[in-house]
Structure 1
Amino acid sequence: MNEREALTQGLAELHMGFPQAVENLVHFSDLLLEKNKVMNLTAVTEPMEVVTRHFLDCAAAGAMLGLEGRTLVDVGCGAGFPGMPLALLAPGLQVTLLDSLGKRIRFLNDCIAEIGVPNAVAVHARAEEFAVAHREQFDLATSRAVARMNVLAELSLPLVKVGGVFAAMKSTGCDGELREAGQAIRLLGGEVEAVHDYHVPLTDVTQRLVVVRKVKPTPGKYPRPFRKISAAPL
């Protein structure tokens, strides 16, 4: 099975995607692996691993969120996960890829231009600074294994509209981390709506999606500067 066949099979299992999405994902994989030779973007170095460990993992999480017609900010997107695959799989989703490292953002904007992804933009900014001008503007915020939940909640929930969702992609071993973050989530205007354990197609891997609903506005003093967030998490 090659990467196109694997993508087609895995996405069919998730009821996601279309033929051009498969081609665009393969194109993104090619660009990622080529750039990874000179820039540390991912520990994954084989095309089939990109399919399973990156694309199908992100797609499986996205399949539970309802993406079309919504706005999403990917906080600390790194090499573009999960936001870039979700933009390629859901053309009606408007995606903002947010990262504090300029070279990653330049790479992603180059990919967006070369592949042709009109529903995605990559922005070089820290999440707590981006929130100043984009407070409560997004239907969805997502992040993939960037930091602990209490830190992620403070970086992400201020960006989400009341009624919207912060969805954190985590491992199944995050129970203690989630308990630790309970007070922070409530303080920031959220409540844990669901914890979904999901199977990644074509693998024996189970991952977890923590869905936090924004039920009231985040107090204006949050997010704090990152040095305060990291020194004294909520």
Structure 2
Amino acid sequence: MNFLLKLLENYEISLNESSYNKLNNFIELIINYPVNLTAIKEFELAAKYLVLDSIYPFLKYTNLKNDTNFLDIGTGGGIPGIPLSIIFPFINFTLLDSIEKKIKAVNFFSNELKLKNINTVNERVEIFSKQNISTYDYATAKAVSRSDILLEYAAPLLKIGGFLFLYKGPTYISDEKKYLEKAIKKIYFEIIEEFHYNVFEKERYFIILKKIGETPSSFPRKIGMALKKPLGGI
């Protein structure tokens, strides 16, 4: 049995043949891509930590609607945006990254996999936000920045009632949550759920936040300010 198929079955994930084949092919593409996009170069590790780690919490903890708009902030080599676009083919995905070579790679993967529900953008999130206020129903980011900083990036882009999904590691409760709790009061979000789970030996948190009010007009701030003076403090 193929490793990816067995892996998904172990996590009680059942996909149609087309989705499964595309995920399998994506792994081969990203680990063999000539530009270094990930430190993971072994198929089995990529299946675990690039694919399973991306899709598992969405399949287990969310109920996304079709014909909606989903933004992946800082997509890198297409993680988690490409795996998510494969398992949710009726959602429109925008994969955003400020680094041109990464967007070129994502375009290559998307074309090779014949994904019709992906749009890519090579731009800073602060600039992209000004042109796309209240555009998205969902947003996520994986391995990009601290929770309160990601919240600031996503806030102007999400519609009221939209959701932000954050993937976080084992130190979320002890190191990051306090910053996030300060930030949500300033830009009108609430924490809906915090799920704790494991992907093999890796401890994970999956946080779901909902936008409950208009983002103040002072956002997005100038480039770099979210990092320099984060909403949650230093």
Q: Is the 1:145–1:168 Cα contact (8 Å) retained in structure 2?
A: no
Q: Does 1:50 align with 2:46?
A: yes
- In structure 2, the gaps of 5 or more residues are none
Partner Cα separation in structure 2 for residue 145 and residue 174 of structure 1: 13
Alignment correspondent of 1:174: 172
Structure-1-length-normalised TM-score: 0.92
Partner Cα separation in structure 2 for residue 222 and residue 136 of structure 1: 12
Partner Cα separation in structure 2 for residue 29 and residue 229 of structure 1: 33
Measured after TM superposition, the shift of residue 162 of structure 1 is 0.5
Partner Cα separation in structure 2 for residue 218 and residue 8 of structure 1: 39
Q: Is the 1:112–1:121 Cα contact (8 Å) retained in structure 2?
A: no
Measured after TM superposition, the shift of residue 231 of structure 1 is 1.3
Q: Is the 2:73–2:97 Cα contact (8 Å) retained in structure 1?
A: yes
Alignment correspondent of 2:31: 33
Q: For residue 181 of structure 1, give the secondary structure of its aligned residue in structure 2.
A: helix
Partner Cα separation in structure 1 for residue 4 and residue 209 of structure 2: 33
Partner Cα separation in structure 1 for residue 153 and residue 205 of structure 2: 20
Q: Is the 1:161–1:214 Cα contact (8 Å) retained in structure 2?
A: yes
- Aligned residue identity for 1:166: L
Q: Is the 1:6–1:51 Cα contact (8 Å) retained in structure 2?
A: no
Partner Cα separation in structure 1 for residue 79 and residue 185 of structure 2: 26
Match of 2:212 among 197, 204, 215: 215
Alignment correspondent of 1:185: 184
Measured after TM superposition, the shift of residue 8 of structure 1 is 4.4
Identity of aligned residues (%): 29
Match of 1:149 among 147, 150, 169: 147
- In structure 1, the gaps of 5 or more residues are none
- Aligned residue identity for 1:153: L
Measured after TM superposition, the shift of residue 7 of structure 1 is 4.7
Partner Cα separation in structure 2 for residue 163 and residue 186 of structure 1: 16
Alignment correspondent of 1:60: 56
Measured after TM superposition, the shift of residue 198 of structure 1 is 2.4
Structure-2-length-normalised TM-score: 0.92
Partner Cα separation in structure 2 for residue 6 and residue 55 of structure 1: 13
- Aligned residue identity for 1:6: K
Q: Over the residues paired in the alignment, what is the CA RMSD in angstroms?
A: 1.5
Alignment correspondent of 1:197: 196
Measured after TM superposition, the shift of residue 170 of structure 1 is 0.5
Alignment correspondent of 1:103: 101
Measured after TM superposition, the shift of residue 115 of structure 1 is 0.9
Measured after TM superposition, the shift of residue 31 of structure 1 is 1.2
Matches within 5 A, 1:117-132: 117-132=115-130
Q: Using a 3 Å threshold, how does the CA distance of structure 1 residues 231 and 204 change in structure 2: closer, same or farther?
A: closer
Measured after TM superposition, the shift of residue 192 of structure 1 is 1.0
Q: Is the 2:4–2:44 Cα contact (8 Å) retained in structure 1?
A: no
Q: Is the 2:85–2:93 Cα contact (8 Å) retained in structure 1?
A: yes
Q: Is the 2:71–2:136 Cα contact (8 Å) retained in structure 1?
A: yes
